[in-house]
């Protein structure tokens, strides 16, 4: 198969358009949701939501969902109508993490290809280097790409991992009609009622 076709194929579960993550145009029910601009989150018990703010620009760059000791950081990007971004971004992520002294293993998960990574972090003691386990998942939708970074209990507990997968499925992406270059972040905004104070990163 031509390599260029492989790189630009869309990546995601076969039932994405019905089981999620959904585009706003695909939503058929009227469940209550929290509106963060480019992302809409259906609230559920014990779910905590937090916006991540880039300190230098004060721009909201990510939304983190915390549920039962697991975390799911979300970012939505503009994408071409007929091409996907995840295959190329996944390769770049793996290369970057490896260059930082970490490791990245590709596998097939609930949403298609994903990365299991070990990222070096500053150890709390002098006993030696420490690593953080994380899972990068991605889905190419209609004119958008949704990326999630999974951490916490979902990395080692099967039930927690299934709960996070279900949470990722429930996300609704609002692409809008404004022209945005591919790979640019879609705009995240504060909801009318702030769930948790924004955190600078």
* pLDDT tens digits, 72-83: 999 999 999 889
Length of the chain: 201
Domain tally for the chain?
Answer: 1
**Does some domain include residue 157?**
yes
**Does some domain include residue 158?**
yes
Q: Check if the beta carbon of residue 65 is closer than 8 Å to that of residue 71.
A: yes
pLDDT category at 103 given cuts 50, 70, 90 is: very high
**Does some domain include residue 200?**
no
Mean pLDDT of the residues in the chain = 88
Residue scoring higher pLDDT (200 or 45): 45
Q: Is the pLDDT of residue 191 over 90?
A: no
pTM value is 0.88
Q: Where do runs of H (alpha helix) occur along the chain?
A: 3-8, 16-19, 86-99, 158-169
Each residue's pLDDT tens digit, 172-185: 999 988 999 999 99
**Does some domain include residue 86?**
yes
What CATH number does the domain containing 91 carry?
3.40.1000
Angle at 165 between CA 67 and CA 119, to 5 degrees: 75
**Does some domain include residue 51?**
yes
**Does some domain include residue 160?**
yes
Report the distance separating Cα 78 and Cα 185, nearest Å: 6
Report the distance separating Cα 102 and Cα 119, nearest Å: 5
Q: Is 154 helix (H, G, I), strand (E, B) or coil?
A: helix
Report the distance separating Cα 148 and Cα 157, nearest Å: 18
Q: Where do runs of H (alpha helix) occur along 39-157?
A: 86-99
Q: Is the pLDDT of residue 37 over 80?
A: yes
**Does some domain include residue 32?**
no
pLDDT category at 198 given cuts 50, 70, 90 is: very low
Domain limits at 163? 3-26+37-190
* Distance (Å) of CA 9 to CA 4, 134, 140: 9, 25, 9
**Does some domain include residue 164?**
yes
Each residue's pLDDT tens digit, 139-161: 999 999 999 999 999 999 999 99
The predicted structure's pLDDT at residue 125: 61
Q: Is the pLDDT of residue 123 over 50?
A: yes
The predicted structure's pLDDT at residue 196: 46
The predicted structure's pLDDT at residue 109: 95
The predicted structure's pLDDT at residue 16: 95
């Amino acid at each position: 198969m031509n390599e260029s076709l492989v790189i630009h194929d869309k990546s995601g579960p076969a039932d994405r358009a019905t089981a999620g993550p959904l585009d706003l145009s695909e939503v058929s029910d009227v469940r209550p949701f929290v509106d963060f601009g480019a992302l809409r989150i259906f609230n559920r018990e014990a779910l905590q939501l937090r916006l991540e703010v880039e300190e230098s620009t004060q721009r909201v760059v990510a939304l983190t969902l915390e549920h039962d000791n697991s975390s799911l950081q979300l970012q939505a990007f503009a994408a071409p109508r007929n091409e996907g971004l995840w295959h190329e971004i996944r390769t770049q992520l793996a290369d970057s993490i490896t260059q930082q002294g970490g490791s990245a293993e590709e596998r097939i998960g609930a949403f298609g290809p994903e990365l299991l990574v070990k990222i070096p972090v500053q150890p709390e003691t002098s006993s030696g280097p420490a690593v953080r386990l994380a899972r990068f998942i991605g889905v190419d939708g209609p004119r958008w790409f949704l990326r999630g970074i999974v951490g916490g209990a979902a990395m080692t507990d099967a039930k927690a991992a299934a709960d996070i997968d279900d949470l990722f499925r429930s996300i609704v992406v609002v692409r809008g009609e404004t022209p945005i270059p591919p790979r640019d972040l879609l705009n995240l905004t504060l909801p009318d009622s702030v769930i948790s104070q924004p955190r600078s990163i």
